[in-house]
Amino acid sequence: MSSFFAFLKRMRFINRWSLMRNTETENIQEHSLEVAMIAHNLGALRNEYFGGSVDMNKVAVIAMFHEVSEIFTGDMPTPIKYFDPKLRSLYGEIETLAQEKMLTTLPERLQSVYRSLIVDAEQSEEWPLVKAADTLSAYMKCVNELKAGNDEFREAHDTILAKLQGLHMPEVDMFIEEYIPALSKSLDELNYYDM
């Protein structure tokens, strides 16, 4: 018996942004899907506009699994995770143990297939796009919260935008320019936005 999918189903119980007042909750399952879609698009932008040759599907699949360790650890808020280098290092060790544990929930012959997606993902050439997509997802959350009148996300918005600009990744800059303005539109406005 393999518990892999039983554990994955629990992702929907783990909420993000736990230290912030939220107008809309977000769990790590829906976050992972959003990051996968963003990462895939970043790969497409890189390939089509900036001469890249990234495997967009691999980027998306790595992104799909990028939070699975949090099934065991919960979502550690960023201000706590990066509060002190020693704490970040210890949490990194805990994340690795959780990733290894998740790998063992698969049938033995599949563990080598998933190792590069779950345990060794950060060493892959696709990881910078996944990390950028994760940051873009956080930025989009901030934009939506501010749009809803939740000023608690103002500082996070500004900090995350500066982080994205500091990446110096043309596909990230293009993503922000191309997609972020539409987030401020209503559904009726979106229906006429691209016409």
Task: Choose among 70, 79, 92: nearest CA to 8.
Answer: 70
pLDDT 10s digits, 132-141: 999 999 999 9
Q: What's the structural domain count of the chain?
A: 1
* % residues pLDDT > 70 (the chain): 96
Residue 195 lies in a domain: no
- The overall average pLDDT reported for the chain is 93
Give the residues across from 27 on adjacent strands. 15
Residue 88 lies in a domain: yes
Q: Show the domain range for 134.
A: 4-185
Decide if pLDDT at 89 tops 60. yes
pLDDT 10s digits, 152-164: 999 999 999 999 9
Residue 171 lies in a domain: yes
pLDDT 10s digits, 95-105: 999 999 999 99
* % residues pLDDT > 90 (the chain): 81
- The b-or-e profile of 153-177 (16+ CB within 10 A means b, else e) is beebbeebbeebeeeebebbebbbe
Residue 30 lies in a domain: yes
pLDDT at 82: 67
pLDDT 10s digits, 20-78: 999 999 999 999 999 999 999 999 999 999 999 999 999 999 999 999 999 998 877 77
Map tokens 């990462």 to a residue. 39
CATH classification at residue 42? 1.10.3210.10
Task: Choose among 28, 27, 54, 26: nearest CA to 41.
Answer: 54
pTM of the model: 0.93
Residue 99 lies in a domain: yes
Residue 177 lies in a domain: yes
